[in-house]
Amino acid sequence: MIGYQRNNILNILAIIECKKFEFQTVISAIPHAQEFQEISSVLPQGIGPIGIYHSHPFSSEVFHSHTDDSTLISLSKQFPNCVSIVTNGKKVNYYQLDENYQTTEIPIKFIETEVPKFLLITFKETLSVRISKKVIDNLEKPNMINIRILNALREYFESIWNDLELYCNNIEVLKDENMKPYLRNELSSDPIEIKIPSKFKSNGEIRINLFKRANSGDMVEDDDNLCLKMKITSKLPIYIQDKNKKFHEIDHLIKTELISNNILQKVYNCKVDLNNKEIITPKDFYLNYFGFFIRILSFNDKKINRNRNSGKIFEFLSRLLSLFDHFKDIELPKGAKHHVLVFFNNIEKLSCNFYWQDDMNKKLINFRNLIILNLI
Amino acid sequence: MTSELNTIYFVNKFGSEKKQIPFPVAPNIKLMDVIPEISKKFGISSQNICIANMGGQVLTHTDLLCSVRELVEKFGNTFDIIDRGIVG
């Protein structure tokens, strides 16, 4: 279950089904960890997995088993108000841990939930990655260059993070400012730009050096280097539940999202073109999923996408779409109907970057015919 | 031993806020040997814990027996930490 917490109350905005399992029988299931990683990575900062649901299909009673209790305790240590929902197909029960760490049934309310506003953060820089040809020659696999760059970039951002500057419409935003005036609900709104101060640049250039290391641990510059240009363009919504917070209070959230959930993933998936001395990073493509934005990484070039995560993205989008199969017989609120249509349109647009565009469009036509026409 | 490898980063994506925790560790230690400590820090039981790299590749038992230095060279210095979430 995907949502957020405000004033100690959970708000569930959407669900994403697990389709892959490491192990699944009629009495127990272990979802595949990779699937959870894929789902949680596309979610924005501030909205995430806040609970789980599953069924006991052959039980006449709905209950929370000892296995479910253990999982709820473990998940609640990571997110204290985690909710666990169990159904037998007819009745649904909702559970949380109480103050004594005992599982307890909780009341719920069905309402059209409000999606919080977000800070729109952008980061646009061109880096100059200097790499020794000897380092390239000694790599076991070509994609290990990506890992070397990833490691170097992580260290670089960790070292300069506290000195980064924020700007909105070219006016500096101070870290003790209240963030309320900067909250947005559209991705096309004026963003807050994160800038690297010029003191961290050399001749206006951000340099990342990947040279050999001497026995002392110091990098040794080689005469035979390649200089690769890497353009990073990131745009990310950081959803905010407490409008009265100041920027420095959510600094760690911005840092986690920008570095770990955006830039490093782009570097991991980048295309290193040694001939053209260029590192091409994928772009953020946002899909409106029940009113909030989830992000898919894709290149604007079908050929590059084909050799990257094309199959994985097709599979992921198909999994999201399969959820709407269950919506055929449900009366959706007006707002949700609108979101479903926007989501389908967004997928159609994203599909233009992939060779499976026609296959996805066929799926979308089927869903529009089967579901949306029934809803309107 | 280089100073570059002394900190690895774990990201927990369960809950509405993703959290990143730096984890200082000697590069020659096996990741398996620090799993109990990582479990305690994140509150995940050792049996339920899973570690994946930035590409979503889940580290296998064999991977966990490698030294931190080898893993950082192969998978990078940043990992997602995942609770398997067994239900029954």
CATH number of the domain encompassing residue B57: 3.10.20.90
DSSP-derived 3-state class of residue A247: helix
For A67, the closest of B2, B20, B88 (CB atoms) is B88
Amino acid letter at A295? R
As a whole number of Å, the end-to-end CA separation of chain B is 46
d(CA A10, CA A51): 9
Q: Cα distance from B30 to chain A (closest Cα, Å)? A: 19
CB neighbour burial string for A256-277, b if at least 16 within 10 angstroms, e if fewer: bbbbbbbbbbbbbbbbbeeeee
Measure in Å the smallest separation between the Cα of B37 and chain A Cα atoms: 15
Distance (Å, whole) CA A54 – CA A68: 10
Which of A77, A147, A253 has the CB atom closest to B17's CB atom?
A253
CB nearest B48 (choices: A52, A74, A260)? A74
d(CA A124, CA A208): 16
Q: Residue A147 and residue B76: Cβ atoms within 8 Å?
A: yes
What is the structure's pLDDT at A5?
95
Query: What is the separation of C-alpha A342 from the centre of its chain, rounded to a whole number of angstroms?
Result: 19
Who contacts A126 (Cβ-Cβ below 8 Å, separation ≥6)?
A205, A206, A229, A230, A231, A232
- Would the pLDDT of B37 be above 60? yes
Does B63 score more than 80 pLDDT? yes
Find the domain containing B14 and state its range.
3-83
State whether B75 and A22 contact (CB < 8 Å): no
Whole-number pLDDT of residue B1:
45
Task: Tell me the residues of B at the A interface, defined by beta carbons under 8 Å apart.
Answer: 1-4, 7, 9, 11-20, 22, 42-45, 48, 50, 52-58, 72-78, 80, 82-88
Q: Provide CATH code, domain A2-42+48-105.
A: 3.40.140.10
A27–B4 C-beta distance less than 8 A: no
Residues B74 and A141: their CA atoms lie apart, in Å, by 10
Residues of B in contact with A255 (CB under 8 A): 20
In a domain, B88, yes or no: no
Q: Which of B16, B38, B42, B44 to mutate to test the interface with A (most CBs of A within 10 A)?
A: B16
Please name the member of A67, A155, A255 whose beta carbon is closest to the beta carbon of B86. Answer: A67
The ipTM (two decimal places) reads 0.92
SS3 A133: helix
Q: Confirm whether B32 is domain-assigned.
A: yes
Q: Do A70 and B45 touch (CB under 8 A)?
A: yes
**Positions in chain A short of pLDDT 70:** 212-223, 370-376
SS3 A230: strand
Check A255 against B14: CB less than 8 A apart.
no
Q: Check if the beta carbon of residue A292 is closer than 8 Å to that of residue A47.
A: yes
Nearest by CB: A71 against B42, B75, B86: B86
Q: For residue A49, give the nearest of B14, B48, B76 by CB distance.
A: B14
Give the relative orientation of helices A310-322 and A33-42 as an angle to the nearest 10 degrees: 90
Sort out which chain A residues have CB atoms less than 8 A from B66's CB and list them: none
Neighboring chain A residues of B60 at a CB cutoff of 8 Å: none
Cβ-nearest to A34 among B14, B56, B86: B56
Please count the structural domains in chain B. Answer: 1
Contact A264 B54 (CB under 8 A): yes
Kind and range of the H or E run holding A12: strand A9-14
Q: Indicate the pTM of the whole model.
A: 0.92
Alpha helices for A43-168 (secondary structure H): 66-78, 133-138, 144-160
Q: Which residues of A touch B73 (CB under 8 A)?
A: 144, 147
CB A58 within 8 A of CB B81: no
Q: Provide the 3-class DSSP secondary structure of residue A48.
A: strand
Q: Please indicate whether, in this complex, the C-beta atoms of B87 and A71 are within 8 angstroms of each other.
A: yes
Judging contacts by C-beta atoms under 8 Å, the chain A residues touching residue B53 are 268
What local confidence, expressed as pLDDT, does residue A221 receive? 62
CA distances from A266 to A11, A279, A305, B54, B65 (A): 30, 11, 13, 9, 28
- Sorted by where each begins, the domain ranges of chain A are 2-42+48-105, 118-281, 285-376
Contacting residues of B for A36, CB less than 8 Å apart:
82, 85
Per-residue pLDDT tens over the stretch A245-261: 999 999 999 999 999 99
Instruction: State residue A246 phi and psi, 5-degree precision.
Output: -100, 165
Q: How far is A218 from chain B (nearest CA, A)?
A: 8
Q: Which amino acid is at A226?
A: L
CB contact under 8 A, B52 and A31: no
Question: A with B: how many residue pairs have Cβ under 8 Å apart?
Answer: 161
Question: Is there a contact between A3 and B12 if contact means CB atoms under 8 Å apart?
Answer: no
Burial of A142 (0-12, 13-18, 19+ CB in 10 A): exposed
| CA–CA gap between residue A160 and residue A210 (Å, rounded) | 18
- A48 and B2 within 8 Å at the Cβ level: the answer is no
B58 contact residues in A (CB cutoff 8 A)? 33-34, 37
Q: Is the pLDDT of residue B23 over 80?
A: yes
Q: What is the pLDDT of residue A220?
A: 60
Residues from chain A contacting residue B22 (CB–CB below 8 Å):
158
Angle ∠(A372,A88,B13) on CA atoms, nearest 5: 70
